[in-house]
Amino acid sequence: MNPSLASRHSWFEATARKRVAGLLDPGSFSEVLPPAESSPSPHLAKLDLPGAFDDGIVIGCGQLGKKPIFVAAQEGQFIGGAVGEIHGAKLVGLLKWAVREKPAAVLLLIDSGGVRLHEANAGLIAISEIMRAVLAARAAGVPVLALIGGSCGAFGGMGIVARLCSAILMSEEGRLALSGPEVIETVAGVEEFDSKDRALVWRVTGGKHRYLMGDCAMLVEDEISAFRAAATAFLADWQEPTPSVGLLRATQRQLEHRLTAYGAYRDGLQIWAELGVKNPESVPLLDRDSLVALKEGLPT
Amino acid sequence: MLCGVVGSGNLEILLNAGDLPNQCVVEIKTAARGFADTWQAVIGAFAAAHPAGGTRIAINDMGATPAVVSLRLAQALAEYQGGVQ
């Protein structure tokens, strides 16, 4: 076997537990509510569906570059990483604990389609509690980073949660949006959005598009070690800003500008052209380093 | 000891120390109905082929095939015994 292949550890292909183990300093992770102590979802049990012992999320603490870090990782293979009541409660508990303990950061390894529809209201309430808890942690001065590069991306409520974080680190394989492609197609029709067109889906929600739009702070290779290096580098230069109305207004102005400038467009290609990319068609084929160089050369 | 994930065609196995050294207790939750005989055969073959006494095994299954179940059981036991030593 090609040795470079053997030494690769894809973030996209890894389970939540593998991601956590490879992201933090080796052997430093200590799980809170491990599978033997956690409870599977009572809602799924009522529907006669098998639950997961950890309800699809791994939480705990560890170290990154010897700094204390809290981490939560969603398991995308279990019902699309969807947020149920216990899953959400574990994440909220971790964030509230962070407000008290003040670790150097909380890392959210998001891999989720959003609310677990089987748990309806409990899942929706969980999402709103997570949103509030992310903001509470940030207000306490604890940076919260979203790491997105799993097969389920970050959609629905978890897309909102990701955008509430201090910053987003993303691979090309990652996706970020509110309504997922299938949802848009179901609600508005295939003329509005063809969810089977995978290239289109990535041109509208994928990591490269989010990076060009400035929605994610860093674009990283699909490697566990690349996410580790990016999170370490980001935190080294990051000071969590004090929340202020001025910051919110500035973000609001940016979003209004985006809507005016791009609201009528239907494809990432059109937006990239507007951003000043000379050959938008070439963007999907660029490797990570070339895309980062391209973005740095764009007019601001 | 946990191995596997509750994903399509996969299962997770939680393996802990049991109460009796000559007994292996298995509890299965599965999305697929009507496969009791198959489960019996797979678990029986596992217990006959491996020193699984003194363990308690809990399974959450999302439609794993018998071959996947056998491999995961062997993996869970190997990791458990590796960790105990």
Cα A166 from Cα A164, distance rounded (Å): 7
Nearest CA in chain B to A51: B60
The confidence score (pLDDT) of residue B83 equals: 72
**Residue pair A161/A110 in contact by the 8 Å Cβ criterion:** yes
**Residue pair A50/B60 in contact by the 8 Å Cβ criterion:** yes
Cα B63 from Cα B67, distance rounded (Å): 12
Confidence of residue A2 (pLDDT cuts 50, 70, 90): low
Chain B residues touching A49 at Cβ < 8 A:
31
Q: What is the pLDDT of residues A192-244, one digit of tens each?
A: 999 999 999 999 999 999 999 999 999 999 999 999 999 999 999 999 999 89
**Residue pair A153/A175 in contact by the 8 Å Cβ criterion:** yes
Residue A164 token pair: 């509430």
β-strand partners of A72: A59, A108
Return the percentage of chain A with pLDDT > 90, whole number: 93
Select the more confidently predicted residue: A38 or A110: A110
β-strand partners of B12: B4, B60
Asked whether residue B84 carries a pLDDT value surpassing 70, the answer given is no
Cα B84 from Cα B55, distance rounded (Å): 12
Asked whether residue B26 carries a pLDDT value surpassing 90, the answer given is yes
SS3 assignment, position A298:
coil
Q: Which of A34, A49, A78 is nearest residue B7 as measured by Cβ atoms?
A: A78
**Which among A205, A180, A165 is positioned nearest to A81, based on CA atoms?**
A180
Binary contact (B7, A51; C-beta < 8 A): no
Asked whether residue A3 carries a pLDDT value surpassing 70, the answer given is no
The confidence score (pLDDT) of residue A126 equals: 97
Chain B residues touching A17 at Cβ < 8 A:
2
Pairing of strands A167-171, A218-220: parallel
The confidence score (pLDDT) of residue B82 equals: 85
Cα A280 from Cα B76, distance rounded (Å): 49
Q: What is the pLDDT of residues A139-159, one digit of tens each?
A: 999 999 999 999 999 999 999
User: Distance between alpha carbon A262 and the CA centroid of its chain, in Å?
Assistant: 23
The confidence score (pLDDT) of residue A38 equals: 84
Nearest CA in chain A to B13: A53
Asked whether residue A58 carries a pLDDT value surpassing 80, the answer given is yes
Does A78 reach chain B within 8 Å, measured CB to CB? yes
Q: A218: part of which helix (H) or strand (E)?
A: strand A218-220
Cα B84 from Cα A296, distance rounded (Å): 52
- The DSSP output letter for A144 is E
**Residue pair B30/B20 in contact by the 8 Å Cβ criterion:** no
Binary contact (A53, B14; C-beta < 8 A): yes
Q: What is the pLDDT of residues B56-70, one digit of tens each?
A: 999 999 999 999 999
**Which among B72, B64, B62 is positioned nearest to A49, based on CA atoms?**
B62
Chain A residues touching B10 at Cβ < 8 A:
77
Nearest CA in chain A to B63: A50
- The DSSP output letter for A240 is P
How high is the mean pLDDT of chain A?
95
Binary contact (A52, B6; C-beta < 8 A): yes
